[in-house]
Structure 1
Amino acid sequence: MSYLAEKLYGIIYMTSRQVNLSIIVLRSLRVIEGATSNFFDNRSYEYKHNIETIATALNGFLRLLKGYGVKNYKFWANQQSLDAISARYLGEQIYIRTSLRVRWLNTSQLTYYKATAIITHLENFKKISATSTFLLSLGSERVSFSHFSKQKFASTWNIDLGTAQVHEVSAALKPETSNPVEVLDDYIGSKLEHLRHVFSGNKEPSSLIIQDAAAINSKYIPAGKSYFTMDSVNFDTVYQKLINSSDQFIMDYFNVDENEVVRIVPYFLLIHKIIKLTNVEKIILTNITVSDGLALERARKVGINKQHLEKIIITAAENIAGRYLTSKSHRENVSKIALHLFDQLKKIHHLGKRERLLLQIACIVDDIGNYINQQGHYRHSAYILEANKLIGLSNEENQIIAEVSRYHSSESPKSQQPHFQKLDPEVQMKVAKLAALLRLADALDDSREEKINKISVSLRGTEMIIFAYSNQNLALENWSFHNKSDLFEKVFGIKPVLKQRRQVK
């Protein structure tokens, strides 16, 4: 093979409809070979009914990877339609048949990888996103709808309008009404209702990027290209032509079979409503997918790509903190102190870059429970975070953030607590270490007055001296530090000591 000198990487990605393989040159993120399974049994969107088809496709992919000499590859799958236990069972069934271990991706991870792929691969994305731009990513159980403004990620929403759900509603409506399209249009509108107040009064023209609309992509995106652009007037012309057409006309127009035709009208209804809602003038169809985002993540992990895409995760955390009215200056100050402690104490906590990011996120969101009640706010923070998964984080990482927020104040992790017991021992240690660091940082701004200009850290035997540089009265900070430092001593066996240093003006 001519690619032997290149660093090749294999990505296998499975949805509830099919399995895909991409063989990628990591340095250029160029796909040199791809393969796709046949669509699964359309009568069910459940993996379990298609296990033998999945295994056959995966074993074929493994042979192709071997033919290219690809030794580094991973297998991911969309978990939107599965609970944790079902995913574990299915993963074991796949492993028995293929020796492949599956890494399940939740909705927030899928949204993140799709968004990073668009940012990196879509031609002229910087120019497009200089003004208001939306990304509509279609999924099996949910649709993600993200907003970019001034070339930066701004926000994202999940909408319960996945392929399987819309298919089920469409099938149920056909025999029950003389005009199922009209009823389906109302149904889709109801799912977008919560976004109307967000965009009410918005007059700024915007662009809409549409991802994962396979049948529409095949019709419009030229061979060898990754996108196609049309204006809203052209889209409306197609919309009016299709919306009341027969299934046979739509099948002929898009060159699809009866299994695919059921998705097309709902797609157009959804896109039409999004266009009206957000004042879209330009539409970009793209076949850039989650696999492109997974390749980018791998390139970043091995040091080939240097993009700082974690800003998306931090922005999402800031959005939650803002929604629950936490103090921006306090969370920024606590983040600065906590990350300084993390960086200075690497030789005792043995945590990596990913845990540093989790600590930063926890500093941003730990006080959101105050919105509900200041008393026991840390518990409120935990259950809000359990219900609001942060974009780009795995289920385990989201759980770590929730638990660190639970323990950032007066409550410490204890073996008899059910929510701490259920964590794996390795995760328990991460929670305890990060919570111990966050508690110290939070104590040093207990007054919310930013009295401490900077800190320095010195390890001396069984003590850790934190020198706080300030000319103000730190009585409250000293009291809080004394109350919150016990967890650090229990976890690391090192006693934190706070000493104030005056600064010469």
Structure 2
Amino acid sequence: MTNKKELNVNPDDGSSEKSQSEEGILPEPLPLEAFFHKYGIERSHADNVARNALELFDVLRSVHGLNPVLREFVEINALVHDIGVVTDFEDHHKAGRDILRFHPPSEVPERLWPIISWTAFLHKKKIGKKKLRKLKEKGFGKMSEDLQDLTLKVAALIRLADALDYSRMESRLGKVKFGKRSIRLEIEGQGAVIDAERMAEKGDLWHLLYDTRLEFKPAPKK
């Protein structure tokens, strides 16, 4: 990841929102590197998920349509998505959300802090229409519609990127075939079967957001 003090995001990219300090929270930002030491993040998995997220961002950009300036922001989300594992393994998505609410990465603009915490929360469990409705009844629903939309789009990518490293066997994206309303992604590596199945499961949020279907298949053995 490039070393930048702060991401520069245009104000018209759908990311504007009241600061958390206005909501009664006084966050204490931390440098990204500090998270790995303070919260014991599994570095190899975080790096793999970040790599996967960047590749998925690029490959699927014609569908998700996110501004390229958000590419590094997606990478940062990937690096900290599992920040709550050591604190509370079973509910690490909740622990991660709470940690990041109070300690957002200092490299990220304040207006994007809520996305970091909600993406950590949304990366773990199944997501359907009912869960999204319930989500809007919580703090998530207090954000602007634009910020909610951006959060879900980022979370959809992180869920897929995380699933691609589910086996921890260095699976990678292979060939990509674009259909009229579908995209077939081949998964390469020793854990390809496991990770392709996991990606199909974690693609639930993607398929709630977009009409373009994603198909995940292990690459043919050479």
TM-score, normalized by the shorter chain, greater than 0.5: yes
What corresponds to 1:448 in structure 2?
Answer: 168
Taking structure 2 as the reference length, the TM-score comes to 0.79
What corresponds to 1:466 in structure 2?
Answer: 185
What corresponds to 2:125 in structure 1?
Answer: 410
Structure 1 residue 415, shift from structure 2 partner: 2.8
What corresponds to 1:489 in structure 2?
Answer: 207
SS in 1 for 2:132: coil
Are 1:328 and 2:46 an aligned pair? no
What does 1:424-435 align with in structure 2 at a 5 Å threshold?
Answer: 424-435=144-155
What corresponds to 2:101 in structure 1?
Answer: 386
Structure 1 residue 458, shift from structure 2 partner: 2.8
For 1:83 and 1:485, how far apart are their aligned partners in 2?
Answer: 34
For 1:440 and 1:391, how far apart are their aligned partners in 2?
Answer: 25
What corresponds to 2:111 in structure 1?
Answer: 396
The structure-2 alpha-carbon separation of the partners of 1:318 and 1:493, relative to structure 1 and needing over 3 Å to count, comes to farther
What corresponds to 1:420 in structure 2?
Answer: 140
| Aligned mate of 2:52, from 331, 334, 337 | 337
| More relative contact order, 1 or 2 (CA 8 Å, 6+ apart) | 2
SS in 1 for 2:217: strand
Q: Deviations over 1:388-439 (max 9, x none)?
A: 0221423331111111111112153613321221111111111111111111
For 2:126 and 2:202, how far apart are their aligned partners in 1?
Answer: 9
Q: Deviations over 1:415-472 (max 9, x none)?
A: 332122111111111111111111111111102221x2443433312222111122x2
What corresponds to 1:375 in structure 2?
Answer: 90
What does 1:104-143 align with in structure 2 at a 5 Å threshold?
Answer: none
Q: Deviations over 1:300-345 (max 9, x none)?
A: xxxxxxxxxxxxxxxx223213321122111111111111110122
SS in 1 for 2:84: helix
Percentage of identical aligned residues = 25
What corresponds to 1:352 in structure 2?
Answer: 67
SS in 2 for 1:337: helix
CA contact (8 A) 2:163 2:199 kept: yes
- Code of the aligned partner of 1:336: R
Q: Deviations over 1:28-86 (max 9, x none)?
A: xxxxxxxxxxxxxxxxxxxxxxxxxxxxxxxxxxxxxxxxxxxxxxxxxxxx9x95279
SS in 2 for 1:430: helix
The structure-2 alpha-carbon separation of the partners of 1:429 and 1:373, relative to structure 1 and needing over 3 Å to count, comes to same
CA contact (8 A) 1:318 1:364 kept: no
The structure-2 alpha-carbon separation of the partners of 1:456 and 1:333, relative to structure 1 and needing over 3 Å to count, comes to farther
CA contact (8 A) 1:341 1:457 kept: no
The structure-2 alpha-carbon separation of the partners of 1:370 and 1:83, relative to structure 1 and needing over 3 Å to count, comes to closer
What does 1:287-298 align with in structure 2 at a 5 Å threshold?
Answer: none
The structure-2 alpha-carbon separation of the partners of 1:497 and 1:320, relative to structure 1 and needing over 3 Å to count, comes to same
Structure 2, unaligned runs of 5 or more: 1-18
The structure-2 alpha-carbon separation of the partners of 1:330 and 1:83, relative to structure 1 and needing over 3 Å to count, comes to closer
Structure 1 residue 476, shift from structure 2 partner: 2.5
The structure-2 alpha-carbon separation of the partners of 1:339 and 1:395, relative to structure 1 and needing over 3 Å to count, comes to same
Q: Which has the larger radius of gyration?
A: 1
What does 1:160-175 align with in structure 2 at a 5 Å threshold?
Answer: none
For 1:467 and 1:85, how far apart are their aligned partners in 2?
Answer: 44
SS in 2 for 1:369: coil
What corresponds to 1:116 in structure 2?
Answer: none
For 2:52 and 2:111, how far apart are their aligned partners in 1?
Answer: 25
SS in 2 for 1:498: strand
What does 1:40-55 align with in structure 2 at a 5 Å threshold?
Answer: none
- Code of the aligned partner of 1:394: P
Structure 1 residue 385, shift from structure 2 partner: 0.2
What does 1:37-436 align with in structure 2 at a 5 Å threshold?
Answer: 83-84=21-22, 316-412=31-127, 414-417=132-135, 418-436=138-156
- Code of the aligned partner of 1:458: K
SS in 1 for 2:174: strand
The structure-2 alpha-carbon separation of the partners of 1:83 and 1:477, relative to structure 1 and needing over 3 Å to count, comes to closer
- Code of the aligned partner of 1:334: V
- Equivalent pairs counted in the alignment come to 197
What corresponds to 1:457 in structure 2?
Answer: 176
For 1:107 and 1:376, how far apart are their aligned partners in 2?
Answer: 23
CA contact (8 A) 2:49 2:78 kept: yes
For the aligned residue pairs, the C-alpha RMSD in angstroms reads 2.5
Structure 1, unaligned runs of 5 or more: 1-79, 87-105, 109-155, 157-315
The structure-2 alpha-carbon separation of the partners of 1:85 and 1:319, relative to structure 1 and needing over 3 Å to count, comes to closer
For 1:405 and 1:107, how far apart are their aligned partners in 2?
Answer: 18
For 2:116 and 2:175, how far apart are their aligned partners in 1?
Answer: 26
For 2:121 and 2:202, how far apart are their aligned partners in 1?
Answer: 13
For 2:172 and 2:212, how far apart are their aligned partners in 1?
Answer: 25
What does 1:16-55 align with in structure 2 at a 5 Å threshold?
Answer: none
Structure 1 residue 473, shift from structure 2 partner: 4.4
For 2:65 and 2:113, how far apart are their aligned partners in 1?
Answer: 20
